[in-house]
Amino acid sequence: MKPFTLEFDGFRLELGSGTCIMGILNATPDSFSDGGKFNTFETAVRQGIKLVEDGAHILDIGGESSRPFATPVSEQEELDRVIPVIETLSKQIDVPISIDTVKSGVAKEALNAGAAIINDISAFEKDPAMAVLAAKKNAPVVLMHMKGTPETMQVDPDYDDLMLEITNYLGSRAAYAVKKGVQKKNIILDPGIGFGKTVEHNLVLIKYLDKITSLGFPVLIGPSRKSFIQNILSKKGNTPVGPDNIRTEYGTLAAVAASILNGAHIVRVHDVEKVKSFTRIIDSIRNA
């Protein structure tokens, strides 16, 4: 695996020798996996601290759900959800905070409040001002592939050539970011597991993840508790398996393992404690 070094805002992340874990903190009432659990200031701050104590290298905070069929929230509501949490956590944790948003106004305030990374699931398409902001702030960015929008992405997604289309898209969005002034060394790519993909699409993406890594950027992947895992396990056992089911956690670990072995540098997950121990073994095998 090609190693990368991210240096920014007083932080340094070595990507490649060991898996970087991004802990998910959804400050929303309607996330697909943990909606409502951390949508108060106190619960969000507590969970953020726990994720870091459990071993997260990055804390990803979002205030708008991107689950299938989710409806957007106003910029002000998103700001109200995330800014107080970021302001508080940035003073209490020693890892970088990532803001998960498609709105440049939210990203700007989040960076001012103590966040250091922009995670844009629209890859700068939703709000072109995001690229300008990222360049000005010299902030690392995560650019993700999504077919459609959260409201439409799971309505019969179809591709002529899955890997070619996603690879070409991510390459073009990286080139766009560079053209807008974002340094190449600050770009991370995410193939967008579950964002406009069927179960089979997600499996193929993980299997052929090296196609994405061949673009020459660090790769982030987020299979944690995704519905493709639940669907596979439900079908095999003939009983529904939800996001909080222990079988879904086991399925997540399997997807994380395959992703790492196929080139992922960063894994975005809910259960950092389990994944931390798990990735130490997978990394040891990969580096043997």
Q: Per the structure, how many domains does the chain have? A: 1
Residue ranges for the chain with pLDDT beneath 50 = 30-32, 34-35
Q: Model-level pTM greater than 0.85?
A: yes
* CATH number assigned to the domain comprising residue 268: 3.20.20.20
Query: Quick one: pLDDT at residue 39?
Result: 63
CA distance 4 to 228: 30
Among residues 245, 240, 208, 205, the alpha carbon closest in space to that of 225 is found at 245
Residue-level pLDDT at 34? 47
Expressed as residue numbers, the domain containing 268 is: 4-286
- Would you please indicate which residues are annotated as catalytic (active-site) residues? 226, 268
**pLDDT score recorded for residue 71:** 74
User: Which residues 6+ apart lie within 8 Å of 208 measured at CB?
Assistant: 163, 262
Q: Assess contact for 24 and 271: CB atoms under 8 A.
A: no
Residue 35 amino acid letter: G
- Cα–Cα distance between 218 and 13 in angstroms, integer? 11
Give the model's pLDDT for residue 157. Answer: 83
Nearest to 232 by CA among 218, 245, 219: 245
The length of the chain, given as a count of residues: 288
Residue (of 224, 150, 135) closest to 184 by Cα position: 135
Q: Which positions ≥6 away from 89 have C-beta within 8 Å?
A: 45, 48, 49, 59, 61, 97, 114
Q: Which residues pair with 13 in a beta bridge?
A: 6
Q: Please report, to the nearest 10 degrees, the dihedral formed by the alpha carbons of residues 148, 100, 269, 67 taken in order.
A: -40
- Return the percent helix, strand and coil in the chain, to nearest 5: 45, 15, 40
Angle between helical axes of 162-179 and 199-207 (0-180°, round to 10): 70
Tokens describing residue 238 = 């003939």
Residues 248-273: pLDDT tens digits? 999 999 999 999 999 999 999 999 99
